[in-house]
Amino acid sequence: MTYIPTTDAERQEMLQVIGVERVEDLFHDVPEPYRFPPLNLPRPISEAEILAELHAMADMNVDLNHAACFLGAGAYNHFVPSVVDMIISRSEFYTSYTPYQPEVSQGVLQALFEYQSMICALTEMDVANSSHYDGATATAEAVIMALNVHHRRRRRVILSPTVHPMYRETVHTYTQGMGLTLVGEDTPRHDLKALAQLVDDQTACVVVQNPDFLGRMFSPSEMQALADTVHAHGALFVVVVDPISLGLMVPPGRYSADIVVGEGQSLGSNPNFGGPYLGIFAFRREYLRRSSGRLVGETVDKEGRRGYVITLSTREQHIRRAKATSNICTNEALVAIAASVYLALMGKHGLRTVAELCYHKAHYAAQRITELEGFHVLSTWPFFKEFVVQCPAPVEDINRYLLDEWGIIGGYDLSQDYPDLNQCMLLCVTEMNTREEIDDLVNALEEIANGALEAPPGGLTLSQR
């Protein structure tokens, strides 16, 4: 029986108020032959039959529980302890949205405060907010923050060409119409000295990713040299990070980063078809008043007991729009809490173990691939968990073969973002990839090197179909 919350008398009263007699009169502007067309629905079926059909449809998908995955490029398959989902599924976390009333939101506020504290410890920065939408929007917000620090007087932004292409695109989208000059994307890849030469007294910030989109790890001394040049001109140094890498690498706070951003999906969240994700955002204390997003602070109540509150709110729904630091009106609190649970569970030793597994497994895979005819690893050592492979055939064809014949999800086609990297694949290896999976990948690529993509005489190759 359909539930209708209004009675017949109430519906009739509403119709009288708006001046019509019947519900059908509300559709008088629609020609009568088209008002109530037959839907031609299939026969009714039971709930059990519907579920069986949905399960059959779902089984047609390729998921990471049933396929080895070597695809990264910003979304990563890392292990998520079961307790993460158990905790964030508690109703007080799962259903809460805006903890503006601290007297009834202490649990959520404390969890977010712990998240901020752990991000500060991970990056060695002074302050972290309780998240942005994702890594791309966090990067764009870092650029806006740098502009605000300079009171919009500096209008030049330098973007490294190996910052994630979607992050750079988001920066362009955020800043269009602001009269900015964005440079650096056409400089040689991995060349920090070329970026340093672009810095001048009109530069608001320089944005670099480490490890970069192609997996290359820059040394602390390389990053410090660039930071020194940036600061000599009074600009801000923005570093995009993979938080998992910070279990192994020197944190950006040690080489003088001013703002640190990144994608936090790898901290306790699955790839999830692209979201919801988590924008990490940390910065130095002197820029606190220029920060965007939500900040949770620790305080004491009138009885001296410790408590948590949203503090220093400078978002547009709290103050006048013209004075707001950002017009972002929400964040990813639940994903931030998942990251907090993940980091607490892993601890610094666990996070280091994950990072080391990613590093060594990726280098093992790269070493095996260098032994194959026709495949060339273009990445310069050291890299973290991603590296570039030049292939003897189009990446699309190789990925189709890997999936159809081996049940392997292949790498990212770099020609989509770097036209000169035609037939180049970005492969990603995490702690989730076993040695057997890596060896299977190498064996599959060896088949391709031996002509597996070639059709029988008179047939078509995959790329010709």
Q: Residue 388 gets which letter from DSSP?
A: E
3-state DSSP call for residue 140?
helix
Residue 406 contacts residue 329 (beta carbons within 8 Å): no
Q: Cβ distance 69 to 409 under 8 Å?
A: yes
Q: Does the pLDDT at position 455 exceed 60?
A: no
What's the mean pLDDT in 103-116?
Answer: 93
pLDDT at 377 over 90: yes
pLDDT of residue 456: 52
Residue 288 pLDDT > 50: yes
Q: Rounded distance, CA 162 to CA 185, Å?
A: 8
pLDDT band at 318 (very low <50, low <70, confident <90, very high): low
Supply 204's token pair: 């608001």
Are 238 and 259 in contact by the 8 Å Cβ rule? The answer is: yes
Q: Is the pLDDT reported for residue 192 higher than 80?
A: yes
Separation of alpha carbons 71 and 440, rounded Å: 15
DSSP for 247-301 reads: GTSPPGGGGT-SEEEEE-TTTT---GGG-S--EEEEE-GGGGGG--S--EEEEE-
147: CB partners within 8 A, 6+ apart: 154, 155, 178, 180, 204, 205
435-449 helix and 333-370 helix, angle to the nearest 10 degrees: 50
> What confidence category does residue 37 fall into, taking pLDDT thresholds of 50, 70 and 90?
confident
The HSE-up count of residue 256 (CA atoms within 13 Å, CB side) is 17
At residue 312, does pLDDT exceed 80?
Answer: yes
- 8 Å CB contact between 354 and 78: yes
Cα 272 to Cα 75, 198, 350: the distances in Å are: 9, 38, 23
Mean pLDDT across the chain: 92
**What is the C-alpha to C-alpha distance for residues 164 and 238, in angstroms, rounded to an integer?**
14
User: Residue 90: left if φ>0, alpha if ψ -120 to 50, beta else—which one?
Assistant: beta
Confidence of residue 462 (pLDDT cuts 50, 70, 90): very low
CA dihedral 189, 190, 191, 194 (to 10 degrees): 50
Q: How far is CA 67 from the centre of its chain?
A: 22
Among 206, 192, 255, CA closest to 234: 206
Average pLDDT in the 81-91 region? 95
The 10s digit of each residue's pLDDT in 143-152 is 999 999 999 9
Per the CB < 8 A criterion, the answer to whether 428 and 379 are in contact is no
Number of neighbours of residue 228 by Cβ within 10 angstroms: 13
pLDDT (mean) for 425-445: 98
Tell me which residue has tokens 């569970």. 345
Determine the Cα angle at 425 with ends 422 and 431, to 5°.
165
d(CA 103, CA 382): 50
Residue whose tokens read 């029988």: 456
Tokens of 210: 């480490």
Taking only the tens place, the pLDDT of each residue in 231-261 is: 999 999 999 999 999 999 999 999 999 999 9
> 183 forms bridges with which residues in the sheet?
158
- pTM: predicted TM-score of the whole model, two decimal places: 0.88
Is the pLDDT reported for residue 457 higher than 50?
no
Closest to 336 in 3D by CA, of 79, 118, 109, 115? 115
- Mean pLDDT over 341-368 rounds to 97
The pLDDT value given to residue 291? 87
Strand partners, 328: none
- Mean pLDDT score, 28-53: 91
For residues 218 and 227, what is the distance between their CA atoms, to the nearest angstrom?
13
Confidence of residue 331 (pLDDT cuts 50, 70, 90): confident
Burial environment of residue 13 by CB neighbours within 10 A (0 to 12, 13 to 18, 19 or more): exposed
Which H helix or E strand runs over 204? strand 203-209
Residue 236 corresponds to which tokens in the numbers above? Answer: 């801000």
Over range 266-288, report the average pLDDT: 95
**Is the pLDDT reported for residue 320 higher than 80?**
no
Q: Is the pLDDT reported for residue 461 higher than 50? A: no
Q: Residue 14: which H helix or E strand, with range?
A: helix 8-18
Considering only residues 172 and 32, tell me which one the structure prediction assigns the higher pLDDT.
172
Q: Which helix or strand (DSSP H or E) is residue 412 part of?
A: strand 412-413
Query: Is the Cβ–Cβ distance between 127 and 282 less than 8 Å?
Result: yes
In this prediction, residue 463 has a pLDDT band, given cuts at 50, 70 and 90, of very low
Domains of the chain in sequence order: 68-77+347-454 (3.90.1150.10), 82-343 (3.40.640.10)
Query: What pLDDT does residue 103 have?
Result: 81
Identity of residue 225:
A
pLDDT at residue 1 tops 60: no
pLDDT at 298 over 50: yes
CA 158 to CA 161: how far, in whole Å? 9
The pLDDT value recorded for residue 464 is 42
Confidence of residue 275 (pLDDT cuts 50, 70, 90): confident
